[in-house]
Amino acid sequence: MSSLAAQRRHPASIVLVLLLGLVITGGLYALLAPSSAGAAVGSSSDLKSGKSLFLANCATCHGVNADGRENNPSLVGVGAAAVDFQVSSGRMPLSNPSVQAARNSSNVQFTSTQIKQLAEYVASLGAGPAIPSSKYTSLGGNIAKGGELFRVNCAMCHNFAGSGGALTRGKYAPNLMDVSGKQMYEAMLTGPQSMPVFNDTNLSPQDKKDVIAYLKNVKNEPSQGGHTLGNLGPVTEGMFAWTIGIGLLIGAAVWLGRKAA
């Protein structure tokens, strides 16, 4: 100890301390930084199949080198998560170019293996968010916390129960009831179309897991009050009151009015 203390004025000590600081910082960063930025490198055969799938199905719009054409985005750096989200939800390949690619689960063109190959190929073009680990996309998050996070971050577009809401000029925030946990996570991570990005510094992986748990609970919990009318708020309630509600009452009034004394 005393010898170390004696050496502290040594000219090399400053360099050593700096080095030590850098190593610790770098080590901590490597441990704690969001891991999704790394481009997953798959096996060469997967990459090859992915490339041929890409050339056959995606290159028309996104370009042979996936660097985009005219109004179509480049896919370099979008990451595997974006590809998996867009293709597994049936949005891509785009069947109907309009203001927004619509979720279309009956239009999923590829098997999960093919989607994985495609995602690996696109991920190999540039670093981007990777497909999330199933640890964060399965159930088991904190529903109450997820609900609060959802109301703060998501409800203004997707509505309080994830029923969806309108955006400008025909765009919309879709209904979330049939979305898989993995796709929810990927959507938060990549911010498709009008959606903002909720990366791991906005919402930690655990937060995302909580949000997923909340939405799955909304879908699965029994409807305590009876039929939900789509969970769309007072508009559908007003419509119900004006049609079926008052209709039944007027029907009863007409019946009573006709009834002989």
Footprint of other proteins (CB under 8 A): 99, 143-144, 147-148, 151-152, 155-161, 163-170, 172-173, 214, 217-218, 221, 223-229, 231-238, 240-242, 244-246, 248-250, 252-254, 256-259, 261
With respect to other proteins, which residue has the nearer C-beta, 81 or 161? 161
3-state secondary structure of 214: helix
We find the least distance from the C-beta atom of residue 225 to other proteins, in angstroms, to be 3
With respect to other proteins, which residue has the nearer C-beta, 2 or 223? 223
We find the least distance from the C-beta atom of residue 172 to other proteins, in angstroms, to be 5
Whether 108 contacts 90, CB under 8 Å? yes
With respect to other proteins, which residue has the nearer C-beta, 47 or 229? 229
With respect to other proteins, which residue has the nearer C-beta, 76 or 157? 157
We find the least distance from the C-beta atom of residue 187 to other proteins, in angstroms, to be 16
Torsion angles phi and psi, residue 198, rounded to 5: -110, 80
CA 24 vs CA 28, 30, 239: distances in Å: 6, 10, 63
We find the least distance from the C-beta atom of residue 241 to other proteins, in angstroms, to be 4
Choose among 111, 133, 117, 180: nearest CA to 38: 133
We find the least distance from the C-beta atom of residue 208 to other proteins, in angstroms, to be 17
Q: How far apart are CA 136 and CA 186, in angstroms?
A: 11
3-state secondary structure of 165: strand
Q: Which amino acid is at 178?
A: D
Q: Which amino acid is at 255?
A: W
Q: 150: burial class by Cβ within 10 Å (0-12, 13-18, 19+)?
A: buried
Cis peptide before 93 (omega within 30 of 0): yes
Indicate the DSSP class of residue 39: P
With respect to other proteins, which residue has the nearer C-beta, 128 or 174? 174
We find the least distance from the C-beta atom of residue 99 to other proteins, in angstroms, to be 8
With respect to other proteins, which residue has the nearer C-beta, 42 or 181? 181
Question: CA-based Rg of the chain, rounded to a whole angstrom?
Answer: 26
